[in-house]
Structure 1
Amino acid sequence: MIPQVDCTVEVVCQINPSEDPQKIRQSISNILDAFELELDKYSARATSDQAESLAKIRESIHNHHSQRVYSKFLNNNLEGDSTWFYLNKQAAFANSIALCERDNESPLGPIKVTVSSENIERIIEWLTS
């Protein structure tokens, strides 16, 4: 059940000169629901105030039985009321959600997903259990 808590989701990635901004838009649409998108020549920033926007990511976590891996990343990156993780941009364009351990794992740069909430532990629990 999707937690009914206040939550902010922010997704950011750089847009390289060789990349089509519409492909970046598609990549973000493949991983996130119900978001507002700001695109400029060099970057994309999507935001949502609903935990439900993370449903595709949660579904992927469970389909790939990667709850423990995501839990580790989310807890290791936890700072105050927020946490983050990287996703592979090329995989996202191919409609696949793939975690990156480091920002240089994705050749064109990763997509950074940041989640903030006063109940961040509840969001992490929902994503990973």
Structure 2
Amino acid sequence: MKIPNIKCKIEMFCSINPSEDPEKIKKSILNIFPNSKIKIEDFSINAHSKDLTSFEKIYETIRSKRSQKNYRRNLENNLDNDTTWFYLNKQAAFAEEIAICEEAEESPLGPIKVIMTSPDIDRIIDWIVFVD
């Protein structure tokens, strides 16, 4: 995997339900984004990274499942200026699996919202979901 040299801010947000262990949610995020810095608050977890290597697992999963067109559509539908976002299923992330949700309700305990911001956001989308 060749990672482009593009400036990008990656943020992850996730609510903590009363029945959930914050450490397990932290583990869910780190399973997918191992280079993230995480802050646990009372009812939410915020994480961030400026390293595109954080997308390695997502990049590999998209290619292995041959679902680049679906992921591209999702990222482009959520595109606003230099920012795009997507949801990840929180339980799948805990099991080290990547399941992108089109709607928040697809993750029963709430999703992990991943926001990417970059002056070259189109190049980042092209890199993540390049269609062979």
Q: State TM-score, norm by structure 1.
A: 0.97
- Matched positions, count: 129
**Structure 1: which 5+ runs fail to align?**
none
- Percent identical residues: 50
Return structure 1 stretches of 4+ with deviation > 3 angstroms. none
Structure 2 match to 1:41: 42
Structure 2 match to 1:65: 66
**How far has the Cα of 1:41 moved from its partner?**
2.2
Paired residues for 1:8-27 under 5 Å: 8-27=9-28
The whole-number CA distance in structure 1 between the counterparts of 2:67 and 2:14 is 23
Aligned CA-pair RMSD:
0.8
Paired residues for 1:68-79 under 5 Å: 68-79=69-80
The whole-number CA distance in structure 1 between the counterparts of 2:45 and 2:61 is 22
**Structure 2: which 5+ runs fail to align?**
none
Contact 1:75 / 1:83 at 8 angstroms: preserved in 2?
A: yes
Q: 1:73-111: CA deviations, max 9, x gaps?
A: 001100000100001001111110001110111110001
Q: Give the AA of the match of 1:105.
A: E
Contact 1:15 / 1:44 at 8 angstroms: preserved in 2?
A: yes
Paired residues for 1:65-104 under 5 Å: 65-104=66-105
**How far has the Cα of 1:50 moved from its partner?**
1.4
The whole-number CA distance in structure 1 between the counterparts of 2:57 and 2:40 is 22
Contact 1:27 / 1:89 at 8 angstroms: preserved in 2?
A: yes
The whole-number CA distance in structure 2 between the counterparts of 1:33 and 1:53 is 6
Q: Give the AA of the match of 2:33.
A: L
**How far has the Cα of 1:53 moved from its partner?**
1.1
Q: Give the AA of the match of 1:21.
A: P
The whole-number CA distance in structure 1 between the counterparts of 2:86 and 2:53 is 17
1:46 aligned counterpart, secondary structure: strand
Contact 1:68 / 1:128 at 8 angstroms: preserved in 2?
A: yes
